[in-house]
Structure formats: structure tokens, C-alpha cells
Amino acid sequence: MAAWNSGGAADRLVGGHGRHHRRAFWETIGIALATVIGVAAGILGLWVTSTDAMQENYRHALMRLAQTAAPLVNPALHRALRRPEQRNGPDYVRVIEPLRRMQRANPDIREIYTLVPYGSGMRFVLDTGDPGHHPPAALPTKSDPWEVYEARDPAMIRALGHDGLAGQAAAIDRPFRDQWGTFMTGWAPILGVNGQQIGILGVDVDASDLVAQLRTARNTALLGLIPALILIALLAASFYRIRLRGLNDARLATAGVEILARERQRFRTVIEATDVGTWECDLTTGVTVVNDRWAAMIGHRREELAPLTKERWQSLVHPDDLPGMEHAIAACLAAPGKLLARELRLQHAEGHWVRVAAHGRVLERDARGAALLIAGVHREVAEARRRDRPLSERQAHEKLTLCQSPHRSALH
């Protein structure tokens, strides 16, 4: 039965090994994924923050550019331009020339134009659009005075003013692409001589550099994720090995406890079958723990003897046997590996003396070799002798019979 149980424990050890591999693997995958998500979220957040900051700085630069250009517009001449044929006329050239100079001074500016509200829509007045900045096949790049402007964006509406709010400088949130290229637009109100708003000025700036910077920031974030992924993979591999080792150690410890418990049960069964009393003394406390058979040998129940202190044990030993027993115990404690074997008499609950044979040894010592735990068994000597007596009497009877045999007499 013991062999069968040990085999079952071995089978469980082998089967548990595969389960622990799977458990460690999936735990590692879960932790690695959570770490990747956390790192990716951090890098993504950093990328979004940096790109937002770049775009915000670009927007503020656009608004300052528009605010710088708006006062260059002559409000009186601007108010007089309302017909397409006025394009490139003396008044048109006179009012647009400061804007063209500003455009020539800043190569990133692709177009500066002015708009005025008319009815429910907007109409162009000035437009510095330069065909030299665009492909030959592009659509017309310059709008005539009073041409309808159809586009709408939130930044333009803020510059116009709405819901009773005065117009203010604004810029679109992100670059836009059309057939002429990639741009961002800044807007600013145009004020008359009396401070009244008479229109808005828009500045289209080539945003190719900004787009390139945003692309570089994105690529940098992705490249930054690669070493993080490599590090996470290395850490995951280390965690997998450590976790698997821990699970295997726990599995072996559990199996060891199970085997030890089974061995203790078997040992207990053997002890009960041999009908001996067991004792175990903790030398740090001086308290001895005995089993039911040990207590029954001297007419007690185990509970009646608890706690069995050194003084209580000494009171049970016959005074003539106590010095020799203590000397034998001291010798056993002093010499590692030495066995205790001695007969002594213990007082029965009814008052008579019971002779027992004591056997034991030290089971545990500290780092310096001092004994911490000693244990052993007691067997009633009188009972053993009574069991042996019938055999001795039978041998004596046979010897006597042999001596009285005629054959024996004849031999003599």
C-alpha cells in the first residue's frame, strides 16, 4: 500500500510539472502584456503631449503673424475695394504692397488675404497669392476682390467674432492639405479707424516642416518602444524562470509534506502495532509529550500527565534509577549519534513500580551542536518477560526429560 501511495505521489509530481509550465507561461504572458500596455500608454501619452505642444506653439506663432499683418491694411482703401476689376489697380496695389513685402520676408508664408462679411457669407478683398509657389497645373492661385469665400473653420469664426463676442486672433488646430500643399492658417481681426472690426486677415503658412516634425516625433516614439519591448521580453523571461522554479519548489514541498505525513501515519501504525509508548522531549522547554500507551503503562490517561515537565517526570522515576537514567540521558545529549538504552522503574498510579526499557536518540540540534529535541520509546519489561517465560519453561522441561531418558542413561 505504501509503495502504491508513493507511486501516486510521483505521478502527481510528473503531471504537476506540465501544469506549472502552463501556469507560469500564462502568468508571464499576462504580466508582459500589462507591462507593454502600460509602457505603450506612457509613450503614447508623451507623444501626444509633445505633438500637442508643437502644434500649440505653431498656432501661437501663426496668430502673432496674423496680428502683425492685420495693422498693415489701410482700412479706408480696403473699404473702397469691392469690384473684381479693381484687382491690381492703383488702390489695390497700394493697400496690398505691405502684405506682399511681409510675404517676401518670410518664405514660409504662401498667401495673405482679407475677407469681409457680406450677407450670410464672406467675400475676398485682398489676396497676395503668388503662382510661383505652386505647380503649373494648379488651379488659379489668386482671388479677385469680392469673390465668394466658401470655406469655414472655427478659428475663422472666432476671428470674426460671434454671439456678441469681439473678434480675436485664432489659428486652426492642425495642418490641412489641399491641391496647393499642406498649410496652417492664422486669423486676426482688421480694425477701422474708429476701432470697429471691418474684416479679418488670414495667413496661410507652409506646414510641411511641422508635419515633418510631427512625423519625426511619432517615429521617435515608436523607436522608443522597441528597447522597452526588448527589456520587457527579457524581464518576462526572467520572471518565467523564477515563477516556474517557485511553483516547482512549492510542488515538491507539498509532495514532501504529503509523503512525510504518510510516513508518519505508517510509523504511527507500526508503533501502535508494537504496543510501545512513545515520548518526545523539547529540551528548550523541558516538557515531554507522550502517547496514550506510554501513559497507560503507569495507569494514567495522557491528558492527566500534561504537561509532563522535568520535575513531574523525575517524580515518576524510582529514586534508585533516577541518577543512572539522568547520566544516560546526559551522555546521549553530549555525543551526536549516541543512542539511549536503559531500564528504569516508573511509579504506577496504583502505587507499584513498573519496569520499562527506554530507548531514544537526539533528533534535532542547533548550529553549535546543542541538543534541542530528543525522542524515543518505552516498552514494559515485565510484559516481555512474561511473554518469553512459556518458552523458557518448555526448554527446561525438555532438558529435564532428556536427562531422564533411558537413552541418556545408556550414554552415561
CATH fold for the domain made of 276-402 = Beta-Lactamase (3.30.450)
What does the alpha-carbon distance between residue 87 and residue 217 come to, in Å, rounded to a whole number? 43
- 332 near 361, Cβ under 8 Å? yes
The answer to whether 129 and 141 are in contact (CB under 8 A) is yes
| Residue 9 scores a pLDDT above 60 | no
CB atoms within 10 A of CB 381: 15
- Three-state SS for 305-325 is HCCECHHHHHHHECCCCHHHH
Residue owning grid cell 475677407: 115
Region 328-335: what's the mean pLDDT?
93
Other residues' Cβ atoms within 10 Å of the Cβ of residue 183: 20
Q: Would you give the end-to-end CA distance of the chain in angstroms?
A: 59
Q: What is the pLDDT of residues 90-107, one digit of tens each?
A: 999 999 999 999 999 999
CATH of 70-210, one of 3.30.470, 2.60.40, 1.10.3470, 3.30.450: 3.30.450
Write the pLDDT tens digit of every residue in 258-310. Answer: 887 787 777 667 666 677 899 999 999 999 999 999 999 999 999 999 999 99
Q: What is the mean pLDDT of residues 322-330?
A: 94
pTM comes to 0.53
Would you place residue 317 in the very low, low, confident or very high pLDDT band (cuts 50, 70, 90)? very high
Amino acid at site 305: L
pLDDT digits (tens, 9 = 90+) for 358-412: 999 999 999 999 999 999 999 998 654 555 444 444 454 454 444 444 444 433 3
- Three-state SS sequence of 232-300: HHHHHHHHHHHHHHHHHHHHHHHHHHHHHHHHHHHHHHHHHHHCCEEEEEECCCCEEEECHHHHHHCCC
Number of H helices and E strands in the chain, helices first, is: 11, 12
Q: What is the mean pLDDT of residues 322-337?
A: 93
- Cα–Cα distance for residue pair 93/70, rounded to 1 Å: 16
* pLDDT mean over 44-63: 91
Residues of the chain with CATH 3.30.450.20: 276-402
